[in-house]
Structure 1
Amino acid sequence: MIKGGDGVLKRFVQLFFIITGGTLGIFLIPELIELLSLKDIALLDKSYIHAPLGAILFFVITFWLVDYVVGFIRRIEESLVKAPVTDVLFGSLGLILGLIVAYLVGTFLWKIQLQVVSTVLPIFLSILLGYLGFQVGFKKRDELVNVFSIPTRIGKKKGSEEEQENNQSLQSLKILDTSVIIDGRIADICQTGFLDGTIVIPRFVLEELQHIADSSDVLKRNRGRRGLDILNRIQKELSMKVEIYEGDFEDIQEVDSKLVKLAKVTSGLVVTNDFNLNKVCELQNVGVLNINDLANAVKPIVLPGEEMNVLVIKDGKEHNQGIAYLDDGTMIVVEEGRNYIGKQIDVLVTSVLQTSAGRMIFAKPKLLEKAL
């Protein structure tokens, strides 16, 4: 079965053979007829028959040759695809220059009346100089790159400060996602100066916020309106530069996927508190700032064995567990704490589990420890 690409190439090769056969037929078929003494056949003596006859003969030949020609072209294609771009580029430039030199030399040779010099020698020179030009361009590519890059290096020295500013501005783009806007802490973080550069708010994120703010669900509507208020605060109260990205990636449906694509295009950083988006960015080598990581980093360090005073407010998922919270919202799982619900007790930390999704502290009542 012929692949799509090979099928098209095969038809192209066959078409080339047919056109070549028709062209040669016009000039060579009459001589062939005369050589074979076939002038007596009236049909062959017609001039309009010669081109179709040559085309048919060459078309028949393609049944044996087309696969070899296609295979040869494919091997050349694979070699060019595997070769580095600089090798192909400078090799091609050398080939073109070689052919130009061969043409200029050929214009003088054609004026010479000797048949061999005026016909065969130009063809030989074209092949030779084209080959030499390709080899010189290919093997001297590193030196040529250095020669062509001299003006660029001079320009870089003159405009190095501007380029550094541009690079810094590109690297300092902070792209906000919907969850981090609704969360609200991003405004306080920007106000403290922990984020620098330009805040980018994509239009598709604004549309999602507006959609949430217009929701019939009261909770969603309040969250959406809170997000819009946070954006209004960032734009009006904070000194950071805020830009609205008007573009959209219509071929991508998910907002998170659009954010990742935008970060790749602009070399910016995605600011989020979405655990799943954080992982997607890491998998696709996109820079990401998770404010939960920042929050966890600035929380007081709690070590196993430390004593804490907490209020147990509800029971946990496991048997006899109680749940308490620190002022920063960190959840504390108190083993054997169910009997202390509603009471302020001293506990001893047994272990700490910390991830990008948050931190969880496991503890047990100090009274129970003393009893043991």
Structure 2
Amino acid sequence: MLYRVVRVAIALAAGGGGFYATQLVLAVWQQNWGTSPLPGLKLTLLGLVTLMAAFIGYVLSGRLIDFVTQSTRWLEGRLQRLPAQDIVSGSLGLIFGLIIANLLGASFFHLPFVGPYIPMAGSLFLGYLGWSLGTKRKDEVWGLFNLIPRLGGRERDRIKVEGGKEGGRSGAKILDTSVIIDGRIADILKSGFLEGTMIIPSFVLEELRHIADSSDLLKRNRGRRGLDILNKIRKEMGVSVKVLEVDFDDLSEVDSKLVRLAQKLGAPILTNDFNLNKVAELQGVRVLNINELANAVKPVVLPGEEMTVQVIKDGKEIGQGVAYLDDGTMIVVENGRRYIGQTIAVVVTSVLQTAAGRMIFARPKGPERKAGSNHQTLERGEYQCLS
């Protein structure tokens, strides 16, 4: 029903346009030539043009409606995929661009011929430029909001740390549940590589308490380990730790609450959770992943270097042995099966870097290496060990 009503409305608009255009043409004809058609002929001409324009408008209205509908759906889909920060910052840029275009366009409006078109062109150009700059400089746009003090609201909506400074500007960092349970954060803080206040939200403490009270033995041990790590950080590390009494009643998941809190504070999240890392990055929140830090500080090993390892088990390929470095890096030793349980010197032949970590391939040093071994066998072993 609505579809037909819209088509009829478009047909009426087209008919009205045809009627007005015909009157305009007849008026110009009379002004230039001094004659006009007979009244009957004039009415007939007006009626025919109006009916033809309405008919053409009705015929083309279906395609016009489909085009507008598809364009609207495409635009809606694009906007849904855009992060909220991009939409807000882009809209602000668009508004400022249109304001500048309006102010500049008023100065050129009275110019002959091109005056009325300059504001239109300026609005299109400066509006697009404002949207583009707003989305590309969204971090700086959102940083401006941190300079505006919030008026009113509860104390938890005006979170302050370290003598009244905002979280992002004081070097504060928000601890995730997984990074607390992991335990390596204590050693990192002890080394002095992280500065600022360590913020522990109350909902993270609540999750730790639930894990520590779990009926499952493994979960209970992990939860209690996390609580022990927190006590160790507060008492022994000499680091400023702040338990923040904050919660978001409209959110149920702890990861979502962490992202919301990080956005409010402008502070990064310390975690080793891969999923939280990706979700936070999509929403413009900075993440410090200690797994990435661990991979970054692993020593670089080059082919030809020598090292001493203990072969502890068989490899996937026949004759291979497997050893591990102190940081957990796997070393596949060619013809190392005979040395299981022994500590031997090996020579690195190649290094394979994967998304899960790094693997080193080596051979025994000296006469222990079989003369008949070749690099193709090692290549087959590389891929089978990854499977």
Range of TM-score over shorter length: 0.5 to 0.7
Tell me the residue number matched to 1:208.
207
Partners of 2:92 and 2:277 lie apart in 1 by: 35
Give the letter aligned to residue 207 of structure 2: E
Q: Alpha-carbon deviation of 1:228?
A: 0.3
Q: Alpha-carbon deviation of 1:92?
A: 11
Q: Alpha-carbon deviation of 1:208?
A: 1.8
Q: Alpha-carbon deviation of 1:349?
A: 1.7
Correspondence list, 1:89-100, <5 A: none
Give the conservation status (yes or no) of the 8 Å contact 1:292–1:356.
no
Give the conservation status (yes or no) of the 8 Å contact 1:252–1:258.
yes
- Structure 2 residues without counterparts, runs of 5 or longer: 4-90, 104-122, 124-146, 148-163, 373-387
Give the conservation status (yes or no) of the 8 Å contact 2:313–2:337.
yes
Q: Alpha-carbon deviation of 1:245?
A: 2.9
1:371 to 2:371 alignment: yes
Give the letter aligned to residue 172 of structure 2: L
1:267 to 2:277 alignment: no
Q: Alpha-carbon deviation of 1:195?
A: 0.4
Correspondence list, 1:26-65, <5 A: none
Structure 1, residues 308-349: CA drift from partner, whole Å, max 9, x if none?
Answer: 111111223455442211123322232443332212122222
Partners of 1:83 and 1:277 lie apart in 2 by: 30
Q: Percent identity?
A: 65
Give the conservation status (yes or no) of the 8 Å contact 1:335–1:363.
yes
Tell me the residue number matched to 2:293.
294
Structure 1, residues 26-56: CA drift from partner, whole Å, max 9, x if none?
Answer: xxxxxxxxxxxxxxxxxxxxxxxxxxxxxxx
Partners of 2:317 and 2:276 lie apart in 1 by: 30
Tell me the residue number matched to 2:344.
345
Task: Report the CA distance shift for 1:200/1:331 in structure 2 as closer, same or farther (over 3 A).
Answer: same
Task: Report the CA distance shift for 1:266/1:324 in structure 2 as closer, same or farther (over 3 A).
Answer: same
Task: Report the CA distance shift for 1:207/1:351 in structure 2 as closer, same or farther (over 3 A).
Answer: farther
Q: Alpha-carbon deviation of 1:194?
A: 0.4
Give the conservation status (yes or no) of the 8 Å contact 1:292–1:357.
no
- TM-score, normalised relative to structure 2: 0.51
Structure 1, residues 203-227: CA drift from partner, whole Å, max 9, x if none?
Answer: 2221221122112222221111111
Task: Report the CA distance shift for 1:87/1:365 in structure 2 as closer, same or farther (over 3 A).
Answer: closer
Give the conservation status (yes or no) of the 8 Å contact 1:275–1:357.
no
Give the conservation status (yes or no) of the 8 Å contact 2:168–2:265.
no
Partners of 2:92 and 2:269 lie apart in 1 by: 35
Give the conservation status (yes or no) of the 8 Å contact 1:182–1:227.
yes
Give the letter aligned to residue 371 of structure 1: A
Q: Alpha-carbon deviation of 1:284?
A: 3.8
Partners of 1:321 and 1:282 lie apart in 2 by: 41
Task: Report the CA distance shift for 1:276/1:166 in structure 2 as closer, same or farther (over 3 A).
Answer: same
- TM-score, normalised relative to structure 1: 0.53
Task: Report the CA distance shift for 1:321/1:273 in structure 2 as closer, same or farther (over 3 A).
Answer: farther
Tell me the residue number matched to 1:84.
94
Q: Alpha-carbon deviation of 1:198?
A: 1.4
Give the conservation status (yes or no) of the 8 Å contact 2:167–2:265.
no
Tell me the residue number matched to 1:17.
none
Correspondence list, 1:114-129, <5 A: none
Q: Alpha-carbon deviation of 1:295?
A: 2.3
Partners of 1:271 and 1:259 lie apart in 2 by: 10
- Give the secondary-structure state (helix, strand or coil) at the position aligned to 2:311: strand
Tell me the residue number matched to 1:192.
191
Tell me the residue number matched to 1:329.
328
How many aligned positions are there? 246
Q: Alpha-carbon deviation of 1:186?
A: 0.7
Give the letter aligned to residue 222 of structure 1: N
Partners of 1:245 and 1:330 lie apart in 2 by: 38
Give the conservation status (yes or no) of the 8 Å contact 1:310–1:325.
yes
CA RMSD across the alignment? 4.6
Tell me the residue number matched to 1:218.
217
Task: Report the CA distance shift for 1:91/1:248 in structure 2 as closer, same or farther (over 3 A).
Answer: farther
- Give the secondary-structure state (helix, strand or coil) at the position aligned to 2:173: strand
Structure 1 or 2: more helix by fraction? 1
Tell me the residue number matched to 1:255.
254
Partners of 1:300 and 1:170 lie apart in 2 by: 33
Partners of 2:338 and 2:279 lie apart in 1 by: 42
Partners of 2:271 and 2:295 lie apart in 1 by: 14
Partners of 1:173 and 1:91 lie apart in 2 by: 41
Task: Report the CA distance shift for 1:345/1:209 in structure 2 as closer, same or farther (over 3 A).
Answer: same
Give the conservation status (yes or no) of the 8 Å contact 2:168–2:267.
no
- Structure 1 residues without counterparts, runs of 5 or longer: 4-80, 94-137, 139-155, 157-164
1:245 to 2:255 alignment: no
Task: Report the CA distance shift for 1:353/1:311 in structure 2 as closer, same or farther (over 3 A).
Answer: same
- Give the secondary-structure state (helix, strand or coil) at the position aligned to 1:258: helix
Q: Alpha-carbon deviation of 1:272?
A: 1.5
Task: Report the CA distance shift for 1:327/1:210 in structure 2 as closer, same or farther (over 3 A).
Answer: same
Give the conservation status (yes or no) of the 8 Å contact 2:321–2:333.
yes
Give the conservation status (yes or no) of the 8 Å contact 1:171–1:267.
no
Give the letter aligned to residue 308 of structure 2: N
Q: Alpha-carbon deviation of 1:87?
A: 6.0
Report the more deviating stretch, 226-235 or 356-365.
Answer: 356-365
Task: Report the CA distance shift for 1:251/1:169 in structure 2 as closer, same or farther (over 3 A).
Answer: closer
Give the conservation status (yes or no) of the 8 Å contact 2:351–2:360.
yes
Tell me the residue number matched to 1:53.
none
- Give the secondary-structure state (helix, strand or coil) at the position aligned to 2:326: coil
Tell me the residue number matched to 1:227.
226
Structure 1, residues 213-261: CA drift from partner, whole Å, max 9, x if none?
Answer: 1122222211111110111111222332212233233444433333233
